[in-house]
Amino acid sequence: MKPRYTLGLTLVSGIAIGAIAMQGLHAQTKLKAYSVAEIEPIGGATLSPSYLTNVRKAINDSHGRALRTVNGKVFHIEGSPAPAKVAIVEWDSADDAMAFYKSKTWTDFAPERDKAQKTIRRYIVEVER
């Protein structure tokens, strides 16, 4: 009878340890994040054809996915008037987004970007899974 109790106790202990480990791993999971940029084009100025391609590649290399909203139509529903354009990027985490927007890669794109558009506001939103 004793081996049965030992086996049962071992099984229950293993389940408890596994449950605690899973809870710990779940707590360490980073939340997805989205960066949102509200943009007003500068009259008559345009971005080079390669700009969006290069920016999207840089975003992908930094664990982000451009949702290709920058050329989409923005519809106003309520509150302050909507901006002319909105750029939304999905990120694996807010840390990845912050690192990208503080990177040399992003700042290297600034001269061309600043000639063609004015960023009204850019922010990051973390999303629960």
Predicted confidence band of residue 68 (pLDDT cuts 50, 70, 90):
very high
Range of the domain at 86: 31-127
Predicted confidence band of residue 128 (pLDDT cuts 50, 70, 90):
confident
36 & 23 share domain:
no
SS3 readout for 48-110: CHHHHHHHHHHHHHCCEEECCCCCCCCCCCCCCCCCCEEEEEEECCHHHHHHHHCCHHHHHHH
- The span from the CA of 40 to the CA of 35, in Å, is 17
pTM above 0.85, yes or no: no
10 & 37 share domain:
no
What's the CATH number where 52 sits?
3.30.70.100
Residue with tokens 């480990």: 21
Give me the residues paired with residue 125 across strands.
34
